[in-house]
Amino acid sequence: MDQKTDQKMQRQVPWSPPDMGESEKKAAIEVINSGWITQGKITEALEKELAGKIGCKHCVVVNNGTSALITALLAHGIGPGDEVIVPALTFIATINSVIAVGAKPVLADSDIETFNTTPEIVKQRITEKTKAIMPVDVAGMPVDIDGFKKLAEENNLVLIEDAAEAIGAGYKGRNIGSFGHTSIFSFHMAKLCAGGEGGCISTDDDAFAEKCRMICNHGMKGRYEYLSFGLNFRITDIQSAIIREQLKKLDHYVKSRNGFADIYKKNLKNAVFQKIPSYVDAHPWMIFGVLVDKDKRDAIIKKLNENGIGTRICWPAPHKQGYHTGLFSGSYPNCEEISSRIINLPMGNALTVADIEYVCRIFNEANR
Ligand X SMILES: Cc1ncc(COP(=O)(O)O)c(C=O)c1O
Among 17, 18, 65, 289, binds ligand X (CB under 6 A): 65
Out of 191, 248, 249, 275, the active site residue is 191
Judge whether 191 counts as a catalytic residue.
Answer: yes
Shortest approach of ligand X to residue 182 CB, angstroms? Answer: 14
| Residue 165 or 245 having the CB closest to ligand X | 165
Query: Interface with ligand X by CB under 6 A: which range of 30-38, 114-122, 159-167, 320-328?
Result: 159-167
Residue 10: Cβ within 10 Å count: 14
Q: Is the dihedral of CA 50, 55, 60, 63 positive or negative?
A: negative
Tell me which H or E stretch contains 83. strand 83-87
Longest dimension (CA), the chain: 66
Shortest approach of ligand X to residue 305 CB, angstroms? Answer: 21
- Nearest Cα to Cα of residue 311 among 286, 353, 342: 342
| Residue 32 or 100 having the CB closest to ligand X | 100
- Nearest Cα to Cα of residue 298 among 358, 360, 367, 346: 367
Among 64, 130, 175, 239, binds ligand X (CB under 6 A): 64
- Nearest Cα to Cα of residue 231 among 219, 243, 240: 219
Cα separation, 53 vs 202, whole angstroms: 11
Query: Interface with ligand X by CB under 6 A: which range of 162-170, 204-212, 338-346, 359-367?
Result: 162-170
| Residue 63 or 203 having the CB closest to ligand X | 63
Cα separation, 111 vs 98, whole angstroms: 22
Binding residues with ligand X: total (CB under 6 A): 14
Query: Interface with ligand X by CB under 6 A: which range of 86-94, 140-148, 271-279, 288-296?
Result: 86-94
Provide the residue type at 110 as one letter.
S
Cis peptide before 315 (omega within 30 of 0): yes
Among 16, 39, 43, 66, binds ligand X (CB under 6 A): 66
- Give contact residues for ligand X (rule: CB under 6 A): 64-66, 90-91, 93-94, 136, 162, 164-165, 186, 188, 199
Residues belonging to the active site: 191
